[in-house]
Amino acid sequence: MMNWMEWIRKAGSTAPVVASVAPAERQPARVSGKYQSLYKYLEGRYATTVVLTLTEIEDILGFALPAAARTDGTWWTIADPDTTEGGYSAAWTVAHRTAVPRLSARTVVFERVSS
């Protein structure tokens, strides 16, 4: 039986083999928690603009939005990751969208942000 050193000599080239390592691909940000289903919905839409009613958003989430989401437009525009809901705004920001509430129409317009 031939040992590996003998095999290398007989194989021809004794030049060192330099392995190149491809840089790790950057993994996309993920959203976890109870707002993940809204993220998945928005991420999967190719349209630049997605308009959803508050009822449709609740259907996607599977639970009722907090009262502030229905009455205070800043809930949609100012993120507070330290709330009990967690980083709810990550559902649209990680999906590369802004949220523009139109509370009188009971809708939210999610616009794609150019990357």
Domain boundaries, the chain: 39-112
8-state DSSP, 34? T
Print pLDDT tens along the chain (115 aa).
567 667 666 666 555 555 445 454 444 556 668 899 999 999 999 999 999 999 999 999 999 999 999 999 999 987 766 665 557 888 999 999 999 999 999 999 999 998 6
Are the C-beta atoms of residues 94 and 39 closer than 8 Å to each other? yes
Report yes or no on whether pTM surpasses 0.85: no
Instruction: Find all residues with CB under 8 Å of 49, minimum gap 6, and list them.
Output: 109, 110, 111, 112
- Rounded to 5°, the CA angle 73-75-78 comes to 105
What's residue 114's pLDDT? 80
Are the C-beta atoms of residues 27 and 51 closer than 8 Å to each other? no
